[in-house]
Amino acid sequence: MRLYLDAAPVIYAVEQVAPFFPVVDARLSTSGTVRVASDLTRMECRVKPVREGNADLLKDYDDFFAYAAVEIVALSREVMDQATEIRAIWVQNTGCPAPCCCCRDQLRRVLDQRPSARPLS
């Protein structure tokens, strides 16, 4: 299974944020999971340690993207537009700032309510 990572689950994993870390870690550790990220996700994760001058945390993120994220993909404008729609709908329906890998079923229910209901590629 390919697991596309947004910044939130990466932050939860790298910084071991409770109570999300155990759920995210279990999902990331599932056998056969191909962890996929983008340079956008990498950039979002690196902002805090760079801003705070935290070299150790920055190294932890760089190590994650070098070794734990199996594939780094480029994002097209279409993909970014779809991500914008997902995030807007998600916040409107849940109040949570972004969906993560531990709430996949709830994300599907929210996406089924989209006005356009076009399939996401």
The CATH architecture assigned to 2-112 reads: 3-Layer(aba) Sandwich (3.40)
**For 3-15, what is the mean pLDDT?**
94
Phi, psi of 101 (to 5 degrees): -65, -15
Burial status of residue 24 (CB atoms within 10 A of its CB: 0-12, 13-18, 19 or more): buried
Name residue 118's amino acid: R
Contact 108, 101 (CB under 8 A): no
Q: pLDDT digits over 23-49, tens only?
A: 999 999 999 999 999 989 999 999 999
Which sequence spans correspond to the domains of the chain?
Answer: 2-112
Amino acid 67: pLDDT? 92
Amino acid 80: pLDDT? 82
Q: pLDDT digits over 51-97, tens only?
A: 999 999 999 999 999 999 889 998 889 888 877 777 777 666 666 66
